[in-house]
Amino acid sequence: MSSTIGLSAVELEQYSRHLKLPGFGLEKQLRLKSAKVLLIGAGGLGCPIGLYLAASGVGTIGVVDFDRVDRSNLQRQIAHGVDDIGQCKVDSLIASMRGINPLVTYQAHAQRLNESNVGELIRQYDLVLDGSDNFSTRFLLADACFLHRIPLLQGAVYEYEAQISLFVPGKGACYRCVFQEPPSQNALAPCAEIGVLGVVPGTAGLMMATEAIKYLSNLPCAAQGNLLIYDALAQSLRHVELSADQNCPLCGKNPTIHDVQEYQTVCPPSANEKHADASTREVNPIQAQSLLAQGAILVDVREDFEFLAGHIPNALHLPLGLLTREIDRLERAVALSLNTTILSYCQKGQRSLEATRILKSLGYQNCFSLQGGIAGWTGNIVIPT
Ligand SMILES: [Zn+2]
């Protein structure tokens, strides 16, 4: 039964706390009801996002995931239960959402997102929420959403940390202004291989749901134009302002990306492989201090926004994605020879390990990676003003 004001009697009751909320009310609730969102991933981020968007009364929610529930998911993917093990995650999540709110229209897409189906899928929606756990999907969505002019709310979780940002095409930075290119095969492991504190995707998912509700109901969004970095250990939330890059290959003045392209799934080397390879090249912070005292060149291989948020004194900066192409930037900055000792570091020590492999392949013989990254650094850190 529809009432004259656009909500049925059942909806008026279900959403009564929104309707009473100053600054929200009927107008915002109707905006939510008419909205269509697509949720990528029914996992750690997707579960809390899906449950809260459903509960809040977003009118149409699509969910994309090809995976099935297994027991190791239950530590954080709270829409699935023991009885759902073996079931399609999309079906299990939608069943939980429907249990909370049957008034919403649900659309199940039990498929792997790829370059041929991404455009058609996202075009049906007003907002895409990326809760995927791998770089190939993130870049595929980033490109597709920009090219189809669809806003993208992106989230990523790593161990005790989460990062969230909302990219609205034509308004400020795009995902590629910040992350340029997918890391090469060995850099940055997807969630299947790394540990994650179970509550972190929960917190991050709720932050994403909050930003989505605000975006859809036309309230200001903290994640638009900012990268929100949540640290569960410190219980801190940092806002790093993002700016558009006029040389961005996707949204810059002379873009080179005009079509979506699927990147190979990023699979990290196994722990043993990584260990065997790393044993001779990783140094702890004390060994690193000693290398620096002996004149090693220090290179920060993180992204611009990370470098600007704080770096080790005297570090040269060259993001991992640009290392092969722009090694001459280092060569210009310091007198490099193939025997120069180069110590690279990143946030936690994964990307810098990859950097040592790349540098080695370029002929540099004495390359080391700072174990634990800047996160484990006990010396000074410079925060540019
Ligand atoms: Zn861009």
Task: Read off the pLDDT band of 330 (50, 70, 90).
Answer: confident
Q: How far is CA 365 from CA 84, 280, 349, 372, in A?
A: 52, 12, 19, 22
- Does residue 150 carry a pLDDT above 90? yes
Task: Select which of 145, 221, 251, 346 is catalytic.
Answer: 346
Note if 267 is an active site residue: no
- Please report the pLDDT score of residue 134 as a whole number: 83
Q: Is 140 exposed, middle or buried (0-12, 13-18, 19+ CB in 10 A)?
A: buried
Instruction: Render 14-38 in DSSP notation, one character per residue.
Output: HTHHHHTSTTTHHHHHHHHHH-EEE
pLDDT score for 384: 77
- Burial of 355-371, coded b for 16+ CB within 10 Å and e otherwise, reads bbbbbeeeebebbbbbb
Which backbone phi and psi does 228 adopt, to 5 degrees? -90, 125
Mind listing the pLDDT tens digit for each residue in 17-27? Answer: 999 999 999 99
Mean pLDDT of 36-64: 98
Distance in angstroms (rounded) separating the CA atoms of residues 243 and 353: 28
Q: Can you point out the beta strands (E) in 115-199? A: 127-130, 152-158, 161-167
pLDDT score recorded for residue 265: 45
CATH 3.40.250.10 maps onto the chain at: 271-376
Task: Find the mean pLDDT for residues 143-153.
Answer: 97
CATH superfamily placement of domain 271-376: Rhodanese-like domain (3.40.250.10)
pLDDT tops 70 at residue 276: no
pTM for the whole structure: 0.71
Give the pLDDT score at 28.
Answer: 97
Q: Are 300 and 381 in contact (CB under 8 A)?
A: no
pLDDT at 274: 43
- The pLDDT > 70 percentage for the chain reads 91
Residue 192's pLDDT is what? 46
Q: What is the pLDDT of residues 113-140, one digit of tens each?
A: 999 999 999 999 999 999 998 888 999 9
In the reported structure, the alpha carbon of residue 187 is separated from the centroid of ligand 1 by a whole-number distance in angstroms of 22
pLDDT of 71-102, one tens digit each?
A: 999 999 999 999 999 999 999 999 999 999 99
Does 167 score more than 80 pLDDT?
yes
Distance 129 CA to ligand 1 centre (A): 18
The answer to whether 38 and 122 have CB atoms below 8 angstroms apart is yes
Q: Compute the Cα dihedral for 374, 207, 66, 84 and give only its sign.
A: positive
Residue 288 pLDDT grade (very low, low, confident, very high; cuts 50, 70, 90): confident
- Which regions of the chain carry the CATH code 3.40.50.720? 35-241
Q: Would you state the CATH architecture of domain 35-241?
A: 3-Layer(aba) Sandwich (3.40)
For residue 383, the model assigns a pLDDT of 83
The pLDDT assigned to 263 comes to 67
Task: Let me know if 346 is a catalytic residue.
Answer: yes
E runs forming strands in 91-204: 105-109, 127-130, 152-158, 161-167
177 vs 129, residue with greater confidence: 129
Asked whether the predicted pLDDT for residue 354 surpasses 80, the reply is yes
216: CA distance to ligand 1 center in Å?
23
Residues 6+ apart with CB under 8 A from 225: 166, 171, 172, 173, 241, 242
Q: Distance between CA atoms of 204 and 193, rounded to whole angstroms?
A: 19
* 372 has pLDDT over 50: yes
Q: State the pLDDT at residue 190.
A: 45
Determine the distance separating the centroid of ligand 1 and the alpha carbon of 143, expressed in angstroms.
Answer: 9
Percentage of the chain lying above the pLDDT 90 cut: 63
Q: Note the pLDDT of residue 280.
A: 53
Please write the tens of the pLDDT for every residue from 214-238: 999 999 999 999 999 999 999 999 8
Does 191 have pLDDT greater than 60?
no
- CA 177–ligand 1 middle distance (angstroms): 4
Residues 1-45: pLDDT tens digits?
444 479 999 999 999 999 999 999 999 999 999 999 999 999 999
Name the residue with higher pLDDT: 284 or 172: 172
Residue 328 pLDDT level (bands cut at 50, 70, 90): confident
User: Comparing 350 with 266, which gets the higher pLDDT?
Assistant: 350
What does the mean pLDDT of the chain come to? 88
Residue 18 C-alpha to ligand 1 middle, in angstroms?
Answer: 36
Q: Looking at 47, 177, 191, 367, which residue is catalytic?
A: 191
| 186 pLDDT above the threshold of 70 | no
| pLDDT value at residue 7 | 95
pLDDT of the residue at 273: 40
